[in-house]
Structure 1
Amino acid sequence: MTCQSVMLAGKAIAVVSFLFMLHSGYSAREYLLYSKSIGRQNLSLPIEIVLECLLALAVMTVALVVGVGELKPISYEAEMKRYSIDGMYSRPSFQVFNHRGRFLRPVNNALDTK
């Protein structure tokens, strides 16, 4: 099996397990509404609904881990290998045109005219 088919199968299994989790939530709601309507005070859920939810959660977790694909490195060195030094420092955010150098050495026009 190729990596693409494994990722697709993992995503499909995750969707099916999500539907099972929605079903367990709906079943829990219906059970609690039924219990209140007949006047039962014990509002604990049946073990079948709890197991369905936990099993769907476990299967969905494994399917999402399998279906995510290849992870990218998050180290600084791996990210900086993609850029050259010229590309890093030629960004417009490093170019400053409004600096205070003109105030440090004022131009005196009277001295420049000889």
Structure 2
Amino acid sequence: MPATLFHRFVLTIGFLSLFHVAYSAAQHRSYLRLNELDFTHLPLDVIIQAFISLFVIMYGVMNVAGDFKEIKASAELENRFWETFKNVPSFYTFSHRGRFLNPSYSSYKGDDE
């Protein structure tokens, strides 16, 4: 499912709500310090808003992230043949010391000497 404008909006609202929860928690702590009260817990509305924001963000991320791949490693390797496992292009070396050791070495195919 492609990420629609609605899902991005939901994700943005979730993050804004989570930032508001953090600001409310900091505001509550500063209120307790000013009134010299002990901190026991956050107010219930802040905790509820934090959980709702968390679930809204999870919903938005799952729809914006796109399709997930399988975790199984064999799912990606099912279509490969045994001969292709030894053929690793990242180990190809085209610039090596052979041209310096042999004066008649030609690095280009089709060069006539």
Alignment TM-score, normalising by the size of structure 2: 0.63
1:38 aligns with 2:62: no
**Where do residues 1-114 of structure 1 align in structure 2 (5 Å cutoff)?**
3-6=1-4, 8-91=5-88, 92=91
Counterpart-to-counterpart distance in 2, 1:57 and 1:49? 12
The alpha-carbon distance between structure 1 residues 86 and 42, as it changes in their structure 2 partners (threshold 3 A), is closer
Counterpart-to-counterpart distance in 1, 2:50 and 2:73? 40
Instruction: Using the TM superposition, give the Cα deviation of residue 47 of structure 1 relative to its aligned residue in structure 2, in angstroms.
Output: 1.6
Counterpart-to-counterpart distance in 2, 1:28 and 1:55? 15
5+ residue gaps, structure 2? 93-113
- Figure out how many residues of one structure are paired with residues of the other and give that number: 90
Counterpart-to-counterpart distance in 2, 1:59 and 1:77? 34
Alignment TM-score, normalising by the size of structure 1: 0.62
* Matched-pair contact (CA < 8 Å) for 1:24–1:53: yes
* Matched-pair contact (CA < 8 Å) for 1:35–1:43: no
Which position in structure 2 is the counterpart of 1:104? none
Instruction: Using the TM superposition, give the Cα deviation of residue 82 of structure 1 relative to its aligned residue in structure 2, in angstroms.
Output: 4.8
Tell me which protein shows more helix as a share of its residues: 1
Instruction: Using the TM superposition, give the Cα deviation of residue 70 of structure 1 relative to its aligned residue in structure 2, in angstroms.
Output: 1.3
Counterpart-to-counterpart distance in 2, 1:50 and 1:74? 34
Of the structure 1 ranges 32-41 and 63-72, higher mean CA displacement relative to structure 2 is found in 63-72
Structure with larger Rg = 1
5+ residue gaps, structure 1? 94-114
* Matched-pair contact (CA < 8 Å) for 2:3–2:66: no
